[in-house]
Amino acid sequence: MQENAKWYVVHTYSGYENKVASNLEKTVENRNLHDLIQEIRVPTETVTEIKDNKRRDVERKIFPGYVLVKMILTDESWYVVRNIRGCTGFVGPSSKPIPLTDEEVARLGMEKKEVEVSYSVGDHVCITDGTLEGFVGIVEQVEVEKNRVRVTVHMFGRETPVELELDQVEPVE
């Protein structure tokens, strides 16, 4: 029975996303279902709004009316999630839950992959992927949390800054 937990999308009444998530977390805690229902998320983004010449950061829901749940689908876990107040069902044909694919989960940024970076600012690196494959440059900036590295590449007699993903470059030996 022990299979990998997958991400499922749960439809809720509009505006009830946080309530459904907190009620589901309480139910999981009370019934000790941590092995079946592992994670519950309401996808949000922080947006800076400017009103009356004042800046403020506002957290907005990316998918209003939806909650993402990482769980192992069994009759019990389906029943628990389906019967949370404010939940209208799973996304899928005739309320049959369909898990998100690995690509969809990666695009949503739901699961962070730890990336080991074996280079730092000032190191010479070789670009291993993309249109500039084979070029050598110098690392200007590393942003591990954003999975980005800025490399300055010398081409056509000019220094050109390029932004790449962390796994697109490797240190020059």
**Residues 93-128: tens digit of each pLDDT:** 876 899 988 888 777 766 555 566 788 899 999 998
Q: Which residue has the tokens 């004042």?
A: 54
Q: Long-range contacts of range 129-138, CB-CB < 8 Å, 24 or more positions apart?
A: 129/164, 129/167, 129/168, 130/164, 130/168, 132/162, 136/172, 137/162, 137/169
CA distance linking residue 96 with residue 116, whole number of Å: 39
How do residues 137-159 score in pLDDT, each as one tens digit? 999 998 877 778 999 999 888 99
pLDDT attached to residue 83: 92
| Residue ranges covered by each domain of the chain | 6-108, 124-171
Q: What percent of the chain has pLDDT above 90?
A: 45
Q: State the fold for domain 124-171.
A: SH3 type barrels. (2.30.30)
pLDDT at position 111 is: 58
Query: What integer pLDDT is reported at residue 2 of this predicted model?
Result: 44
Structure tokens at 160: 């050109």
pLDDT band for 29, please (50, 70, 90 cuts). very high
pTM of model > 0.75: no
Mean pLDDT value across residues 152-169: 89
CATH code matching the domain that covers 6-108, chosen among 3.30.70.940, 3.30.930.10, 3.30.470.20, 3.40.50.720: 3.30.70.940
* Helix and strand totals (H; E) in the chain: 3, 11
